[in-house]
Amino acid sequence: MNISHENRFLLHCLQTSISGNTGDKIKDVINLSLNWEEVLASAFWHGIAPLLYHNLKNISKGHCISQEVTAQLRTAYHGNLARNMYLYAELKRILETFCDKGVKVIVLKGAALAKTVYGDVGLRQMSDVDLLVKKEDLPCAEKIMSGLDYRFQGEMQPDWYRENHQHISYVNSEKNIPVEIHWHIARKAHPLRIRIINDIIERWWEEARTIEISGSKAFILSPEDLITHLCFHFLKHRFINHNGGFSSKGALIQLYDIFQTLKYYRDEIDWVRFKSEAEKYGIDSLMYTTLSIVREIMGEHDDVFHNALSSFRSEDLDKELVRLINKRILIREDTLPAVPGSFIKSQIADTFQTKIKILFKEIFPHPKVLSNRYSVPLYSKRLCLYYLIRPFRLILKSGKIILMLPRVKEEAILNTWINSQVGPIVDD
């Protein structure tokens, strides 16, 4: 993979502990006069600044790393450590209350990973606390959260989320702690456009393991189910943009979550069960693709990936797709010009007529859209003028759009692939 020195440096630092060989590689890249502004921007973009500091603090002496860079990373690590300790203290209070009420809880994502596979609560950033409860326990869970001074947070009414979503969000305004109460991992109209049938969640409960977090009893997913969840979480955030664009934000920490989980549980994972269930639920292609993306980013690591990938058939993997996704992961969207979502959608439309319809709506949008865009009263005659000049404005911009055609083509390839992974829609 042909990548910049800055990205190569970040990938070398994507470890909880640096071996002698990797340490030498890091020192070699540092000596290449890195653009540290770019390194910092990417580290914060991908959520790996605390991990970067953890690995640099012991090798920064004698190398060209400015005190300003070190100070920013140090602040990120210690700020994250303090924040996570605060979150775990609150998580203890929440788990104790759920336990007292007899409601079982599975701790998801960051709060589970930092305590287990990372082994250092300062290394893994957590923006919120994610908990999974059984659907029948949801009313009781909502009462518990209300009793703990958490308030519902959302644009729609709670009933809408119960019917159409996979979680309800709460926030304790005094403590500034967001908590998401999940009963599923995918809603009926998921941004990822992948539907997960309900009995996979039932299987997760059957295989869940007990754990003690901050002195309180809870559950975590089995290694196999944790890998499945992390793969879906990674994919969801790549295709979450409303305009259909691919997003790289937070990608490296999410990929490292998967890698570190594979490494931590490598002697326990039942790959026969993992592959069998992936086939049963029609998600084996997604799992294979995501695990291959992780291997490409992290390097070979045969001790970690051999069993994981050997259970899949190599001919089933679209290697060009993996290459494209990894290329896009290492490009921050804030460095790219915006591509109109309509151009992406027109590229992946099934028929020529649909393509034309989408582009026509972009050129001549609904009057309300044009009124809001140009701050013109809806029934003003000036709106007609904007309809006349809008095609010419788009023509003037077409030069930039032509330059972006390779990227639009990439977006179309990625969206066509993810659209092909749609599974059955099953009501709750």
What local confidence, expressed as pLDDT, does residue 75 receive? 95
The tens digit of pLDDT for each residue in 206-250 reads 999 998 887 888 899 999 999 999 999 999 889 876 556 789 999
> pLDDT: is 22 or 53 the higher one?
53
Which range, of 113-117, 183-187, 287-291, 422-426, averages the lowest pLDDT?
422-426
**Phi and psi for 212 in degrees, rounded to 5?**
-110, 120
The H helix count followed by the E strand count for the chain is 20, 7
Q: What is the mean pLDDT of residues 281-297?
A: 92
Place of tokens 């797709």: 321
What local confidence, expressed as pLDDT, does residue 123 receive? 93
What local confidence, expressed as pLDDT, does residue 425 receive? 41
> pLDDT: is 123 or 240 the higher one?
123
Place of tokens 């800055």: 6
Do residues 392 and 363 touch, judged by C-beta distance below 8 A? Answer: no
DSSP state of 248: -
What local confidence, expressed as pLDDT, does residue 61 receive? 59
Place of tokens 């729609």: 156
Of the chain, the percentage scoring pLDDT greater than 90 comes to 46
> pLDDT: is 245 or 290 the higher one?
290
CB atoms within 10 A of CB 414: 21
The tens digit of pLDDT for each residue in 351-410 reads 767 767 767 777 778 888 778 877 888 778 788 887 788 777 766 665 566 666 787 788
Which range, of 14-18, 302-306, 379-383, 388-392, averages the lowest pLDDT?
388-392
Place of tokens 């941004």: 191
Do residues 170 and 181 touch, judged by C-beta distance below 8 A? Answer: yes
User: What are the tokens at 105?
Assistant: 């809880």
What local confidence, expressed as pLDDT, does residue 361 receive? 76
Q: Is the pLDDT of residue 95 over 80?
A: yes
The 3-class secondary structure across 316-349, one letter per residue, is HCCHHHHHHHHHHHCCCHHHCCCCCHHHHHHHCC
Q: Is the pLDDT of residue 181 over 60?
A: yes
Q: Is 239 left (phi over 0), alpha (psi -120 to 50) or beta?
A: alpha
User: What are the tokens at 281?
Assistant: 């639920």
End-to-end CA distance of the chain: 43
Confidence category of residue 417, pLDDT binned at 50, 70, 90: confident
Alpha-carbon distances, residue 67 vs 51, 57, 70, 150, 299 (angstroms):
18, 11, 5, 41, 30
Query: Cα(87)–Cα(84) distance, rounded to whole angstroms?
Result: 5
Burial of 330 (0-12, 13-18, 19+ CB in 10 A): buried
Which range, of 187-201, 213-227, 316-330, averages the lowest pLDDT?
187-201
What local confidence, expressed as pLDDT, does residue 195 receive? 57
What local confidence, expressed as pLDDT, does residue 344 receive? 62
> pLDDT: is 316 or 64 the higher one?
316
> pLDDT: is 148 or 336 the higher one?
148
Do residues 390 and 364 touch, judged by C-beta distance below 8 A? Answer: yes
What local confidence, expressed as pLDDT, does residue 428 receive? 41
Task: Calculate the CA dihedral of residues 56, 60, 65, 67 and round it to 10 degrees.
Answer: 90
Which range, of 27-31, 118-122, 137-141, 372-376, averages the lowest pLDDT?
372-376
Confidence category of residue 427, pLDDT binned at 50, 70, 90: very low
Q: What is the mean pLDDT of residues 164-193?
A: 82
| Distance from chain centroid for Cα 153 | 21
Sign of CA dihedral 229, 234, 240, 244: negative
- Greatest C-alpha distance within the chain: 72
> pLDDT averaged over the chain?
85
Do residues 281 and 231 touch, judged by C-beta distance below 8 A? Answer: no
DSSP state of 35: -
Place of tokens 């084996």: 284
What local confidence, expressed as pLDDT, does residue 113 receive? 93
What local confidence, expressed as pLDDT, does residue 403 receive? 66
**Mapping DSSP to helix (H, G, I), strand (E, B) and coil, where does residue 151 land?**
strand
What local confidence, expressed as pLDDT, does residue 341 receive? 61
